Structure 1
């Protein structure tokens, strides 16, 4: 599944190589046209288990870029999603506006961005008394694209180290 909490948070990048591939991927995403980014998110959601994922692409939709159905065990949820191809921060107004557009029309909401969510936006997404909105920031988006092998390749390199002392130890009489 894509996420089980209001905000998908991968483990933080710890090595320069991890940071570099994310920065490179975010750079590529920044160059995409908006509708291309929406289609990429559509593909990601399909790979993550959503069905009937459609990009609406309509103006005046209140920020709803698409919809899909997520089935979890015996339950199905209609999910509206919004795609924000931004370099900067996504604030609470975006979350409020999106929630207003989806209330009564969908069971869940999901905002995916190449940027970051402000602390206020994260609080707004989980505000008491309001439908929860799941948030996927740029780093988490990169990790999801990697997980589902969309636009990235992962190469596992095997490193073999010879331990001469361990090899020589077998020639000692105690092993005979």
Structure 2
């Protein structure tokens, strides 16, 4: 019974509410930010990380979304946008409803695996969000953490080139205020931006002070800055990056970094994976399950 009260259960209702406020659809980060703001999520929760470096709050919100997909309240599309179904628009999920949904799908998954699906010793448990660390995206993130600091700078430069930047150069100069390189983003034949970037290859949380130091180093030298890390950013760091009246700093955390590698097909190979649709089989299970 303890598993049915998993921490992520509390976010099912807020995910629905956030998507309704976002006119029915939104990027995962938009949904998480909306929940954090409107549910007054404490900084200690927003900044907590898993062993992989992934933000625990972000991980839990993703699992809440997965249960809503199984329940038919969210679209199961994997194109990086979460969207409500017709039922999702009409649904209201409080904490009691959320626990019922989670308990229902834990039971369905358990019955399906017991009756028809071979289960390995370490098979994914839909009631245990931490197991998401074992997925391919987490493996890629772990590999990025193991490259040398210089290698991480070079691979980030490659990612920027693959993402449309030109004249990307890694400076390789220490004591340069945290500036690891620069590039030019050509918006159109008339407009371009000089961008400085910083690469932080570690598991830690980038602080507000580090974002501020980077911005101070880039003032007068570029139109925009980018910090790429295999770790995460504190909520204060994100607020500093978006501070009104200051030069903008784009923050790319480990989760976003992995998605950018996947989108650019850089260092990854595409594969086809079929996932068992437990919802399909639910109606064929006997009452004893």
1:55 correspondence with 2:170: yes
Deviates more, 1:10-19 or 1:143-152: 10-19
How far apart in 1 are the matches of 2:193 and 2:142?
Answer: 33
Preserved contact between residue 26 and residue 142 of structure 1 (Cα < 8 Å): yes
Q: Indicate the residue corresponding to 2:230 in structure 1.
A: 114
Structure 2, unmatched stretches of 5+, are: 1-27, 32-57, 67-123, 125-130, 276-289
Higher helix residue share: 2
How far apart in 2 are the matches of 1:9 and 1:103?
Answer: 27
1:154 correspondence with 2:278: no
The DSSP-based 3-state class of the residue aligned with 2:152 is helix
Mapping of residues 16-165 of structure 1, within 5 Å: 19=133, 20-73=135-188, 74-157=190-273
Structure ranking higher on relative contact order (CA contacts 8 Å, 6+ apart): 1
Q: Indicate the residue corresponding to 1:166 in structure 2.
A: none
How far apart in 2 are the matches of 1:125 and 1:10?
Answer: 16
Q: Indicate the residue corresponding to 2:3 in structure 1.
A: none
Structure 1, unmatched stretches of 5+, are: 1-7, 160-176
Higher strand residue share: 1
How far apart in 1 are the matches of 2:244 and 2:236?
Answer: 14
Q: What is the TM-score when the length of structure 2 is the normalising length? A: 0.49
The DSSP-based 3-state class of the residue aligned with 1:142 is helix
Distance 1:138 1:81, change over 3 A: same
What's the RMSD between the two structures over aligned residues?
2.2
Residues 22-42 of structure 1: CA deviation (Å, up to 9, x unaligned): 211111111110000000000
